[in-house]
Amino acid sequence: MNWDDTTGTDAADERLVASVADREDQAVEAALRPKDLGEFIGQEKVREQLDLVLRAARARGATADHVLLSGAPGLGKTTLSMIIAAEMGAPIRITSGPAIQHAGDLAAILSSLQEGEVLFLDEIHRMSRPAEEMLYMAMEDFRVDVIVGKGPGATAIPLELPPFTLVGATTRAGLLPPPLRDRFGFTAHMEFYEPPELRRVIHRSANLLDVEIDTDGAAEIAGRSRGTPRIANRLLRRVRDYAQVKADGVITREIAAAALQVYEVDARGLDRLDRGVLEALLKLFGGGPVGLSTLAVAVGEERETVEEVAEPFLVREGLLARTPRGRVATPAAWAHLGLTPPRSTGTGNGQQDLFGA
């Protein structure tokens, strides 16, 4: 076997191992998902309102109204869609906006739905416009018009659909056109979790994973989970690995802190990318302002990755500010990294507005 063949085999092996690891993580995440509203932790208002919607629909013997769930990734939108199906005793079909690029794609999905079935459409704001317009009629009248032929001879054949429940999920509700938003009978915005709620999530997951964890250990993980249950569960699994290999398997505050240091998650929940963005902003650009594209190049990441993954958390933590002139570090960012902000020279670099003369 020549060198190229060996390299190709090694790369294929690495991809296979990564694929298996991804499937194992997905299996664990699925096992940790709550199965009904009673098990779902947090989002008290949303749970109360959704419970009323579902109970009323069951009492009428009707299909539940269409539901729109908005909020940051990892807060439980997919889990709630599965709970809606379970509470209604209906099957669920899962797809996503980017997968529906033509009206025909959507027509094929809709025409195969069973009566009462739940259709979960993730990232609904990324659906194509022709499919979106077809969805209007499907949601309101349970009917779609299928176009047969082209040009002057084209005809529209109406296709009746069984009543179904659409559950749309989006991280950017502002991108949804009003006609689509208005067709949802119930809309809910998912909020970030408070530390006490995350501790409950972690204790529940630890019990399901048969992991022993004390109150302080759960608090340590919760404080670094960015207000997001998905991240809390991921960090719990990594801390579990560390505790099994480096300790006696019991997760305490000390074990959790040591494990998360290994995985480069600091006390405020910043990971390698977050710290890289802050360090580049402070050390290379004096705290800004600097354009997002320039900042992304400095950390070796795509612009979209910095904008959608790192920036929202840094802004929410008060470590970074978005201004018309670019991204600017706040005094809290300098303090978090243990650095001293430069004295303002009054040359228009933007720092005098934040730090004074």
Tell me, what CATH number does 324's domain have? 1.10.10.10
Considering the domain architecture, whether residues 165 and 200 belong to the same structural domain is answered as: no
Q: What mean pLDDT is predicted for residues 228-239? A: 93
Q: Among this protein's residues, is 187 annotated catalytic?
A: no
> Would you tell me how many other CB atoms lie within 10 Å of the CB of residue 85?
22
Whether residue 70 contacts residue 188, with contact meaning beta carbons closer than 8 Å, is answered with: yes
Q: Among this protein's residues, is 171 annotated catalytic?
A: yes
Whether 93 is in a domain gets the answer yes
Whether 9 is in a domain gets the answer no
22: Cβ contacts below 8 Å, ≥ 6 apart:
none
Q: What mean pLDDT is predicted for residues 124-141? A: 85
Whether 139 is in a domain gets the answer yes
Considering the domain architecture, whether residues 72 and 166 belong to the same structural domain is answered as: yes
pTM of the model: 0.79
Mean pLDDT for all residues in the chain: 83
Whether residue 72 contacts residue 192, with contact meaning beta carbons closer than 8 Å, is answered with: yes
Given a cut of 50, whether residue 3 has pLDDT beyond it is no
Q: What is the pLDDT of residue 101?
A: 82
> 240 is in which domain, residue-wise?
195-262
> What digits encode the pLDDT tens for the residues 263-316?
988 888 888 888 888 888 898 888 878 888 888 888 888 888 888 888 888 888
Of the candidates 199, 230, 275, 327, the residue annotated as catalytic is 230
Whether residue 191 contacts residue 47, with contact meaning beta carbons closer than 8 Å, is answered with: no
**Please, which pLDDT band fits residue 337 given cuts at 50, 70 and 90?**
confident
Whether 314 is in a domain gets the answer yes
Considering the domain architecture, whether residues 68 and 170 belong to the same structural domain is answered as: yes
Of the candidates 47, 63, 79, 122, the residue annotated as catalytic is 122
251: Cβ contacts below 8 Å, ≥ 6 apart:
206, 211, 212, 213, 214, 217, 218, 221, 236, 239, 240, 243
Of the candidates 63, 78, 170, 228, the residue annotated as catalytic is 78
Considering the domain architecture, whether residues 175 and 64 belong to the same structural domain is answered as: yes
Whether 10 is in a domain gets the answer no
Residues 253 and 259: their CA atoms lie apart, in Å, by 10
Tally of domains within the chain: 3
Residue 219 maps to which CATH number? Answer: 1.10.8.60
Considering the domain architecture, whether residues 104 and 139 belong to the same structural domain is answered as: yes
Whether 108 is in a domain gets the answer yes
Q: Among this protein's residues, is 95 annotated catalytic?
A: no
Q: What is the pLDDT of residue 2?
A: 44
Q: Among this protein's residues, is 330 annotated catalytic?
A: no
Q: Among this protein's residues, is 230 annotated catalytic?
A: yes
Which of 213, 234, 262 is a domain's end point?
Answer: 262
> What digits encode the pLDDT tens for the residues 145-166?
766 656 565 666 778 888 999 9
Q: What mean pLDDT is predicted for residues 170-184? A: 87
Considering the domain architecture, whether residues 47 and 173 belong to the same structural domain is answered as: yes
Whether 33 is in a domain gets the answer no
Residues 157 and 115: their CA atoms lie apart, in Å, by 21
